[in-house]
Amino acid sequence: MRCYVVIELKTGEFKPEYAGQLNFYLSAVDGILKTEHDYPTIGLLLCKSKNNLVVEYTLKDMSKPIGVSEYKVTCDLPENLSKQLPSIEDIQNRIRESDSKTE
């Protein structure tokens, strides 16, 4: 399956108008970028919080595939991920190395 995915991140609670805005973006991507070989564009709206009933009524009659989900901000990275990512020092060293190559 090949399709475009539009992800929109909101810093507050879900509002019905967010779905209309995302629907506009999906229509634009489908009209400009999508080819006959692509499936319809999928929209994902990430909000800090949501009321499931408001989301349900907002999306009820929309024909485009849109999902709404909540996110949590945390300062702690799970251990299995922290082992896979470079340390701050590694990133700083790579930046210094990159800068010295361009000089």
Which tokens go with 66?
A: 């849109």
Between 52-59 and 16-32, two packed helices, what is the crossing angle to 10 degrees? 40
Local structure of 18: helix, strand or coil: helix
Query: How big is the CA angle at 84 (ends 8 and 94), to the nearest 5 degrees?
Result: 90
Confidence (pLDDT) at 97: 86
Which residue reads 């799970």 in tokens?
Answer: 78
The strand pair at 66-70 and 42-47 is best described as: parallel
Whether the predicted pLDDT of 103 surpasses 70: no
Which tokens go with 31?
A: 């009209």
Per-residue pLDDT of 1-46, as tens digits, reads: 799 999 999 999 999 999 999 999 999 999 999 999 999 999 999 9
Distance between CA atoms of 49 and 41, rounded to whole angstroms? 24
Distance between CA atoms of 89 and 94, rounded to whole angstroms? 9
Per-residue pLDDT of 51-76, as tens digits, reads: 999 999 999 999 999 999 999 888 78
